[in-house]
Amino acid sequence: MPANKVKLGLIQHSCSENKEANISKAADKIRKAAQQGTQIILLQELFNTTYFCQEIDEQYFGWAQPIPGSMTKQLCALSKELEIVILAPFFEKRAPGIYHNSLVVIDADGTLKGTYRKKHIPDDPGFYEKYYFTPGDDAYRVFDTRYAKIGPLICWDQWYPEAARITALKGAELLVYPTAIGTLPDENRKKEQEFLNAWQTMQQSHAIANGCYVASINRVGQEGDISFWGHSFVSAPFGQIQAEAGTKEEILITDIDLGKIEEQRQIWPFFRDRRIDTYKPILKRFDD
């Protein structure tokens, strides 16, 4: 494959309360993706558990895992064997009483490059994340992996253009958003389509505004009251959806051309024309 071309694999799947079975399912799909030449493999938010944040129950703190830990070691070994980059999001136990919605970036030689912790934490009916997750206090990060410079963000982060911009300014060629989004029982098909449209439009706008690729990975299946509807997708640097999954379990594979990023930023020079001297109000909660 040409130097600028990279093959992405987005893995969307359903989960059960059997964490080991979820890991085995993901590992099997990772192998299948690697057999098709995939170089970077992206997993969904909380890939090894159900989306337990639908309820408040302290038992779920027992599902959290340290970094590094047994699961990250398993993924590092798989990455090294297959020579692939893996982004794996899961429930992290950082210290007693401090838990995060996190992901690890593992390079193609099996090295654990680092961690990103979700910054924006929602608290809504069916999405009680503030009970479980401490907001990430680390910086927005970009990981220079063997195949691309990757800027990871997680789910609720995707609605904030500030997070995308900062990560892109740090050099990200690919913004990655592992996600858990679906509909509740009182939300009809019309609402579901509106949510899907808004979800995709928001991330397409990050691609356009920052002249980079965006990959969003959602889960599927019915878990409790939430119906997760998949539609994982990859947006090109001018917002075109170049690949999209359906509503079932799927390995979505597509090529991205990193050479298009500079070309896009030359034609649409948003970074050049930024008026950084006018942006001070963005540091306020509300400019009243």
What's the confidence (pLDDT) of residue 274? 97
The one catalytic residue in 92, 118, 119, 173 is 118
The rounded distance, in Å, linking the Cα atoms of 52 and 147 is 33
Average pLDDT of span 31-57: 97
Predicted confidence (pLDDT) at residue 152 exceeds the cutoff of 80: yes
Predicted confidence (pLDDT) at residue 282 exceeds the cutoff of 70: yes
Give residue-wise pLDDT tens across range 17-32.
Answer: 999 999 999 999 999 9
Which domain, by its residues, includes 118?
5-283
Q: Would 120 be classed as within a structural domain?
A: yes
Any idea what the CATH number is for the domain that residue 270 is in? 3.60.110.10
Total domain count, the chain: 1
Average pLDDT of span 152-169: 98
Average pLDDT of span 252-274: 97
Say how many C-beta atoms besides its own lie within 10 A of residue 192's C-beta: 15
Q: Integer distance in angstroms from the first to the last C-alpha of the chain?
A: 53
Beta bridge partners of 94: none
The predicted model scores a pTM of 0.96
The rounded distance, in Å, linking the Cα atoms of 271 and 264 is 11
Does the active-site annotation cover 118?
Answer: yes
Does the active-site annotation cover 250?
Answer: no
- Per-residue pLDDT band for 288 (boundaries 50, 70, 90) equals confident
What are 271's two structure tokens? 């970074």
The rounded distance, in Å, linking the Cα atoms of 154 and 234 is 15
Predicted confidence (pLDDT) at residue 228 exceeds the cutoff of 80: yes
Q: Would 288 be classed as within a structural domain?
A: no
Q: Would 165 be classed as within a structural domain?
A: yes
DSSP 8-class letter at 65: B
Beta bridge partners of 92: 65, 100
Percent of the chain with pLDDT over 70: 99
Average pLDDT of span 160-167: 98
Pick the range with the lowest mean pLDDT from 105-109, 132-136, 184-188. 184-188
- Per-residue pLDDT band for 106 (boundaries 50, 70, 90) equals very high
Describe the crossing of helices 70-82 and 19-35 by its angle, rounded to 10 degrees.
10
How would you label 128-146 residue by residue, b for 16+ Cβ within 10 Å and e otherwise? bbeebbbebeeebbbbebe
Percent of the chain with pLDDT over 90: 95
Give residue-wise pLDDT tens across range 230-247.
Answer: 999 999 999 999 999 999
Average pLDDT of span 86-93: 98
Predicted confidence (pLDDT) at residue 1 exceeds the cutoff of 70: no
Predicted confidence (pLDDT) at residue 2 exceeds the cutoff of 90: no
The one catalytic residue in 7, 155, 212, 250 is 155
What are 207's two structure tokens? 């691609």
Run of H or E residues at 30: helix 19-35
What's the confidence (pLDDT) of residue 78? 98
Determine how β-strand 226-229 pairs with β-strand 182-183: antiparallel
Q: Would 115 be classed as within a structural domain?
A: yes
Q: What is the mean pLDDT of the chain?
A: 96
The one catalytic residue in 7, 45, 119, 212 is 45
The rounded distance, in Å, linking the Cα atoms of 271 and 165 is 10
Does the active-site annotation cover 45?
Answer: yes
